[in-house]
Amino acid sequence: MLPTPPLLLVVVAVLLGGVCSVADNSGAEQIHLSFTDDVTTIQVTYSTFQPVKASARYGTDQPDTLVEGSSTPFAQDAAGTHLQYINRVSLPGLCPGERHVYQVLGPAGWSEVFWFRAIPEGSDWSPRLAVVADMGTNPSTLPFLVNDTREGMYDAVLHVGDFAYDMFTDNGTKGDEFLRQIQPVAAHLPYMTCPGNHEQRANFSNYKNRFSMPGGTEGMYYSFNMGPVHFISISTEFYYFLEYGFEQVFSQYNWLRADLAAANQRSIRNVRPWIVLFGHRPMYCSHKPNHACTEWHDRLRVGEDEFKPALPGLEHLLVSSGVDLALWAHEHSYQRSWPVRDGTVTDTGGDPYRNPGAPVHITAASAGRSTDKKPENLHWMPWTAYRSSTEGYTRLSFHNATHLTIEQVAVGEDGAASVVDTVTIIKEECFT
């Protein structure tokens, strides 16, 4: 049983919406970090409601190095509703593996001082991540994530789509509220994202403006490395919001094919053997039968030939490229699959997660938004290994080049948290 976070932590992180809104009068808020294409540079993004010269001070002991960035006005519509300024500043020249401190400049002065730890160089270390999705505001999981962050349990967070329900709601103030609430986590850990269906309004404008991902695609698809792991973020929503353009499906597909080919060069895969892909809508799930991810002809998985040209599916790329783990969301629960490809489980006996021969699929969508507890919606499929409808979040621990442990932490109605599912994937050989 995990300890319940202190009462003060719950009050600060949930009821008051984050550290900044309580103790900081600088006017800088919604502070969050993200990786860049350079391991020695991290990006800090923050909002102000008055124009400011986007700036940060940082260092290993004191925030004594000044850097400037860019500021972009962002409103909810052409009339300028709820105008704010999204400020982005890169912090270069970091000392790998070392703790750093920083603060950002708001209209009324410098913010409080935050900390983060730059990730080590190379592949010979053990990344630890938290995975959340479908979160919403005031989730029961957030105090535990804040506590874990303060205890130094993670190197980064993956948020697999669906953030605030919705960021544009109430003229964008719901998005502000969400980003204030996650600040006690995201101001200290790179908060890496992908878009979900609830971000689609105005061609994902809130998502594209509020987050700063690497790759030059407005955060819609990109990849990054951590130790022995190559992470790939995709937009599953390209396949479902075709009114924003068919070309996005093909651009992403061609990029993904090239990215996986590069990651599978022998000299690279030998150094960075794990490949993890994350996107919002799952290829496989254990839900009521009319959900696409329970169907044999899921559009994301196998494509869609009713369009000309046909939309390309992605599963064959994952299988042929030896993707080890696929992380999804959207179905409001936690689900773990057996290793599966083409709708067929590769092995459910003996030791199925040792050299599994196909990707393992995790749906990590129980972080807060109305987890689905209705019995009529639970539908075990041939690939279902475990599922839980209790609110919670997922942990990934890459011990080394051969062992990855996945844990699901559930937060019960009594406010206590416990690990309810654990599995270790062991890969002693590549299956490409």
Amino acid letter for position 394: T
Residue 236 burial by Cβ neighbours in a 10 Å radius (0-12, 13-18, 19+): buried
Q: Which domain holds residue 55?
A: 24-117
Cβ 293 vs Cβ 315: under 8 Å: no
- Asked if the bond preceding 309 is cis, omega within 30° of 0, the reply is yes
Tokens of 408: 């699901």
Q: Residue 15: helix, strand or coil by DSSP?
A: helix
Last residue of a domain, which of 88, 117, 146? 117
Q: Is residue 245 domain-shared with residue 388, that is, in the same domain?
A: yes
Tokens of 51: 């124009």
Is 3 inside any structural domain? no
Is 11 inside any structural domain? no
Is 12 inside any structural domain? no
Q: Is residue 349 domain-shared with residue 206, that is, in the same domain?
A: yes
Cross-strand bridge partners of residue 275: 230
Label residue 21 by pLDDT band (50, 70, 90): very low
Residue 227 makes CB contacts below 8 A (sequence gap 6+) with 119, 120, 122, 123, 124, 125, 126, 127, 272, 398
pLDDT in tens, 255-287: 999 999 999 999 999 999 999 999 999 999 887
Tell me the average pLDDT of the chain.
Answer: 91
Q: Which helix (H) or strand (E) holds 302?
A: helix 299-302
CATH number, domain containing residue 52: 2.60.40.380
- How many structural domains does the chain have? 2
Which of 19-28, 75-84, 181-190, 263-272 shows the lowest mean pLDDT across its residues?
19-28
Q: Is residue 161 domain-shared with residue 104, that is, in the same domain?
A: no
Mean of the pLDDT values across residues 358-383?
Answer: 82
* Region label for 254, one of left (φ > 0), alpha (ψ between -120 and 50) or beta (otherwise): alpha
Mean of the pLDDT values across residues 417-431?
Answer: 88
**Is the full-model pTM beyond 0.85?**
yes
Mean of the pLDDT values across residues 171-177?
Answer: 98
Is 1 inside any structural domain? no
Cβ 246 vs Cβ 253: under 8 Å: no
Nearest-angstrom CA–CA distance, 370 and 231: 28
Q: Is residue 334 domain-shared with residue 415, that is, in the same domain?
A: yes
- Burial of 186-221, coded b for 16+ CB within 10 Å and e otherwise, reads bbbbbbbbbbbbbbbeeebbbbbbbbbbbbebbbbb
Does the pLDDT of residue 50 top 50, yes or no? yes
